[in-house]
Structures are given as C-alpha cells and as structure tokens.
Structure 1
C-alpha cells in the first residue's frame, strides 16, 4: 500500500488527486504518526521528518527495511506517484516513451508494462513533453514510429540526452470503435513503446516531391495572400529548421 505522509499541502493535494484518478489503494497520515500495516511505499517531501522511518518503528513487527521512500516537492507529485507505482510493480522504474509521429504526435509513457501517462500535443510541443517525462526517469528510452518521416525526423533530431529507437510502426494503430475518435495516435504510441527498434542518434530524411508539395499547399492555406512558399523554404520546413508560420512570414518579407 502507498502512504502519503507529508505536511506539504501542495504535495498532499496533488499526490492524493493522482492516486485517486488511477484507482490506487492508499492512505494518508501525519509524518509523526506510525505507518499502517501493509505499508510498502511512503510518499513524503524533502522537508518532512517521518518519525516511524527514522525510529524504525514501522508497520507490523517494526521493520521498515522493505518500505520504499519517495521524496518529492509539490511540483513533482505526478512523478512521485509514478515512482511509487513502479516500486509496487517491481518494474525497476524503467520508463519507455512511445511516440506516434505526425502533426499532433501521440505520446505514451510506460513504466514496465503499465501506461502511466499519455499526451496528444502539437508537433512543436512534442520534444519538450518527451524530455520532461524522461527527466526524472530511471534509464529512460524513447521509441518512435517510422511513419510520418519528416515529423519523426524532427523529433529524433531535437531530442537530447535520451536514447532513441526507431520502430516499424506497421499495424500499431488499432481499430477504433464508436466513441474513440482521436485516440488512435495515443494507442499507437502505446503499441510503439512495446516494440524493439533500431537505435539512432539522428535521422536524415530527404523529402519527396509529394512531401514538399504538401508543405507548399499548407503554406498557401495558412498564408493571407493565397500564395505557396517556394521549394527552398519548403525544404527548410521539412528539415525542421522553420515552422510553416515562419516560412510564410519569411516568404512574405522576400516579396
């Protein structure tokens, strides 16, 4: 069982909310109270002094050697809950982040075999989301699908300090029944996270004529003069050097 033992209101509030959202069995105590029987993980803050742990006066026969202590600030409540759950599962805390690339990538964070967080964000926010989730993880790994080549290459090339594997994403998007619209990218990301891939440090992609035309067509729709950007700007967009908006603005300035 997870026990939240803290006088930090923000940590208490956010950790309890996270645990309730996930349907986890837990209880709360004051730091100076004894640990309940069955305590396996204690979530507390760096400033808290959990008397039962310090005095080795824990649950049952008083042995707290098997109790895992997770210390976190209020801003780290979700990370603390994920670490506590990983400890309960005995997964060793390995975090794998699956990414289904595209204009709005699906991102799934797995600890062991358990999905602990999912996101569906604009491409411009994908790398920041991935790096934030990997920041406090033990031995993190990013697995990204090999579809949507241009967007995938942009993500791979911008990720820093986290190992990346490119995965064959064939068949990773499941059939979506009634009421599941918009979930395909996230579910594909979960499946991608569970597949082994090829380790890469960077990904160079030479855009096809068709991919460049798609970028030009988007620039025409998003511009205010119904004019497409030229091929050189489209290539810079394809490489991730510019966003569509930046390319349209640069094209406007050149006229």
Structure 2
C-alpha cells in the first residue's frame, strides 16, 4: 500500500533509541522492547544519536533537550502504549496512517490490528470486551483514523459488537466472511489460531459501512441456546428465564449478570427454580 511504509534513510538496520535518565521509565520500556524482540539502544541525554536511529522514546521533561534531526519522537505514556506507538512510528511514513481492526465474531471473537499490510497485534476476548479493547488500541497506537471490519457470521454476537462500536463513535464495516476461516492442520491443537487468522483476513476485505445501530430480535432457538449456556455456566444450578435470555441476546446484560439476577429473584421469592427455563 502506498503511503504506509517509510523510505528508510538508515537502510535495513533502523532501530529505536530510548533516551532518558528516569530509571523507572528506563526499566519499564526496556522490558517491553525486549518482550517484543525489537532492536533498540539506550542513550543518555546529550549523547550522540546514531544515524540508524529511526524513532526516539523519551520523557516529556527531557524531549526539549534532545538534539536530533529525525521527527519520530515518542513521549513516554505507559510502557505498552509507548512501545506500540514507537513500533507504529517506525513502520509508517507519516502520522496520518490509518489503522484497521478486524473482528471474527463468535463466542470468543478473534481481533487483529493492522497498520498497512502489517499485523501489529492480535487478541481474543469475549464479545463484551471488543469495544473496550478497541478503545485501548486507539489509546495505545493513536492512529489518525481507525476502521473496524467485522465478519457477518454469528448474527447476534455481530449485532451486539456493531452496536457497541457505533455507540462509541467508531466507523464500522460489515464484511462477508465467506472463505476467511482457514483450514487448520491436525498438528494445530487450538481454535484460537483459526479465529485470529480469520480476523486478519476480515481486516483485509473492504466491507459495507454500517451507518446506524441495529435491532436485535433473537429467535426462539437463539434464546434456547443462551438458556442452555446459563445452565452450563452455573453448573446446573440455574437456567435463566426467556426474558433474561432475550436481554442477554440484545447485549443489555451479560450472561453472568442475568444468572445473578435470576438467582437473586429466586432467593427473594420473586422467581422460580430455573431448571425448566420458563418465564416467571
């Protein structure tokens, strides 16, 4: 993609420099850079900055003391966010680069973060954690723009995630996810890999913009599945009634909240044993 990757003046040996006298910042950033296996050097304020340094990390109080011809300066925030920003700055030409987040919906959605063609982070979270995760990603990387592309499978989960993202003000595209889930060989023993790869593929497909929140009206079968899930989640002690299952389907409650409400109603004599799943 044009305009995404920088033309390197430092050739293929570009590195990040951490320049600070703050020992606490030094320890945290060095540990994070090492965990990402990023090439870096550490310098004191005033030391010569080598020509192959492409990004400098420093503190706000020390930034004005750094004499450097480069323009990719990252001010320390927290270790993860700071290193994320440094990596992103090292990978793109200008701070106006767009970011795409792909979401493979399901019981545990896969989430992939792309800058240009490069995958810079992957996650797997619950459906209710997708929107907070996207907010954290935006905080950590601070892209000029972000688009969330979500697959059109798992109707209820997809709608819940879309509504939460739109409500938070994000741009969302709905993607036809046909063919995005790869074949997983017998030697791969986790579905997480499949979900993550599907999320990466979804992120790379232009979808249809979603302009407004959607109504969620679960079918009887979908409500039944949620009721069965509540029984399994509570180890057979409670099956939430249909009206609570409907609220879970609409994203108004989590299944744990619905179970707690149902147990509370039974304890107070306002509900009934949930084993048959009928509305009280």
Q: Same fold per TM (> 0.5)?
A: yes
In 2, Cα distance between equivalents of 1:165 and 1:11: 38
Per the alignment, residue 208 of structure 2 pairs with: 198
In 1, Cα distance between equivalents of 2:85 and 2:184: 31
Structure 1 contact 31–49 (Cα < 8 Å) conserved: no
Per the alignment, residue 11 of structure 2 pairs with: none
Per the alignment, residue 84 of structure 2 pairs with: 82
Per the alignment, residue 165 of structure 1 pairs with: 173
Cα-Cα RMSD = 2.2
After the TM superposition, which residues 41-60 of structure 1 pair with which residues of structure 2 at under 5 Å, given as runs? 41-49=55-63, 51-53=65-67, 58=68
Per the alignment, residue 229 of structure 1 pairs with: 240
Unaligned runs of 5+ in 1: 59-63
In 2, Cα distance between equivalents of 1:100 and 1:108: 9
Structure 1 contact 143–165 (Cα < 8 Å) conserved: yes
Per the alignment, residue 150 of structure 1 pairs with: 156
Counterpart pick for 2:53 among 39, 42, 47:
39
Classify the secondary structure of the residue corresponding to 1:137: coil
Structure 1 contact 100–144 (Cα < 8 Å) conserved: yes
For normalisation by structure 2, the TM-score amounts to 0.78
In 2, Cα distance between equivalents of 1:234 and 1:186: 28
Per the alignment, residue 188 of structure 2 pairs with: 179
Shift of 1:241: 0.9
Per the alignment, residue 44 of structure 2 pairs with: 30
1:97 matched to 2:101: yes
Runs of 4+ in 1 over 6 A off after TM superposition: none
For normalisation by structure 1, the TM-score amounts to 0.85
Structure 1 stretch displaced more, 211-220 or 7-16: 7-16
Structure 1 stretch displaced more, 150-159 or 6-15: 6-15
